[in-house]
Structure 1
Amino acid sequence: MDLFRLDGEVALVTGAGSGIGQAIAIGLAEAGADVACFGHSTKGGLEETKDRISALGRKAIAVTGSVNSEADLAGTVERIEKELGALTVAVNNAGIGGAHSAETMPLEIWEKLYAVNVSGVFLSCQAEARVMLPRGKGTVINVASISGSIVNRGLLQTHYNSSKAAVIHMSRSLAMEWSDRGLRVNVISPGYTLTPMNRRPEVADQVKIFERDTPMGRLAKPQEMVGPAVFLASRASSFVTGIDLIVDGGFVCW
């Protein structure tokens, strides 16, 4: 199925040190891409992601920085183009979560989450588009969440939910703005996924509820986001832009 191959492509994945970002970065390499792994620290597994990609015979670099820094993002793109080649695929996965009641939420908690989840995604898209648009080629995939479409029962996450809704609509807007210039922009919205955050003993009871409420009866594995990412990054989706691809085991149907 050559339509799904990414040979000759150069990808950037933010938040590539663990969970969904790590799985997607390795999955893109398995499909043939060279990959730049971006994260805020090498301690979170960024070097491990790079090493696993290199073991596949693909080129890989690990870059630390902040998605809230225009200089860090511009420098990362410049390094990618110098060491790996022209950037053609970007997966903007970096994000943070949290729970807090709306009536007592300090402004700084709201602003910190929005800085990463919304401004960070926008700044990443902007830095990537600045090299993709002049060449008339590229695909951007922003990772949101089903929480951008629904409100999760029992979770006090007004800030998180609204930030993911912003990512979805921002992506649609960018898709339309850049649609006639060769750049596609799409979203993957994972459902409940067995990331390190959901493996903590203190959330074990909550995870059981997530499993119960998911029609397929379980959480997703991070690797189950690879297929959707490869699809949206590849020629298989050449006529697809502006979509929110929900990958949730049927959760939003109920």
Structure 2
Amino acid sequence: AKGYLARAESLDVTDSAAINALAQALPALDILVCNAGIVTNTPAEHMTDEEWDNVININLTGIFKTCRGFARQMLDAGRGSIINIGSMSGQIVNVPQPQCHYNASKAGVHHLTKSLAVEWAQRHIRVNAVAPTYIETPLLKNLENQDHLVNQWLDMTPAKRMGQAHEIASIVQFLASDASSLITGSIITADAGYTCI
């Protein structure tokens, strides 16, 4: 309606060749948002190697591969803003659900964000991350024991509410824009106060 062109592409963020091929097929991006992620709830002592590897490969390695693949052209162009979706789980340990692989992957996303920001700062690429609380999405509705979990999360949240997708999108929009031109290597926590207590 506004005259913009949009296209959708399917991409496996664990496949470096596919990422590189798509990056080379597109003009240099001004904005990259890395948002792929999964989680399962399995106690550490019962977690299989495959379950650990799958979460780490998608949530952390996938972000690295995507940043690397698309940043090459950004670096050549001398401009760009990359926004990674981390989690408050990269700063705290969630309870009651057991998810050590997810927490570790998101802590890795935060440190990867800072590392890339430092490497690319002088080449005019900004790299930041958003660390959301629990967000009300369709995925949440499919959780086992959902009502009990949500009630416990709300008890631990000072604002006594969960987040909405548009609230995270507005932070991404800010980080993508020139309004945040001095910000790089930052992790913006959007958690209704959850990590304060």
The yes-or-no answer on 1:222 pairing with 2:171 is no
The yes-or-no answer on 1:167 pairing with 2:109 is yes
Deviations 1:233-254 (A, max 9, x none): 0000001000000011111001
Structure 2 counterpart of 1:144, from 86, 89, 95: 86
- Measure the CA separation in 2 of the matches of 1:68 and 1:147: 22
Deviations 1:166-210 (A, max 9, x none): 000011001001110110000101101101121237412211222
- Measure the CA separation in 2 of the matches of 1:201 and 1:154: 13
Q: TM-score, normalised to structure 1's length?
A: 0.74
- Measure the CA separation in 1 of the matches of 2:185 and 2:10: 29
Cα distance, 1:79 vs structure 2: 3.3
- The one-letter amino acid paired with 2:24 is E
- Measure the CA separation in 1 of the matches of 2:54 and 2:181: 35
Instruction: Note the residue ranges of structure 2 that are not aligned, 5 or more in a row.
Output: none
Conserved 8 A contact 2:32-2:83:
yes
Conserved 8 A contact 1:144-1:188:
yes
Report the aligned-residue RMSD: 1.3
The yes-or-no answer on 1:66 pairing with 2:12 is yes
Q: Secondary structure at the match of 1:246?
A: strand
| C-alpha spacing 1:69/1:207, structure 2 compared with 1 (3 Å) | same
Instruction: Note the residue ranges of structure 1 that are not aligned, 5 or more in a row.
Output: 1-54
Cα distance, 1:80 vs structure 2: 2.9
| C-alpha spacing 1:231/1:107, structure 2 compared with 1 (3 Å) | same
Q: Partner of 1:192 in structure 2?
A: 134
- Measure the CA separation in 2 of the matches of 1:121 and 1:180: 21
| C-alpha spacing 1:57/1:109, structure 2 compared with 1 (3 Å) | same
Structure 1 counterpart of 2:149, from 203, 206, 222: 206
- The one-letter amino acid paired with 2:152 is I
Q: Secondary structure at the match of 1:152?
A: coil
Conserved 8 A contact 1:198-1:204:
no
- Measure the CA separation in 1 of the matches of 2:97 and 2:2: 40
The yes-or-no answer on 1:153 pairing with 2:76 is no
69-78 vs 160-169, greater mean Cα deviation: 69-78
Cα distance, 1:159 vs structure 2: 0.5
- Measure the CA separation in 2 of the matches of 1:69 and 1:240: 30
Q: Secondary structure at the match of 1:172?
A: helix
Report the number of matched residues: 196
Conserved 8 A contact 1:195-1:222:
yes
- Measure the CA separation in 2 of the matches of 1:97 and 1:151: 14
Q: Partner of 1:78 in structure 2?
A: 24
- Measure the CA separation in 2 of the matches of 1:159 and 1:153: 14
Matches within 5 A, 1:30-179: 55-81=1-27, 86-179=28-121
Q: Partner of 1:252 in structure 2?
A: 195
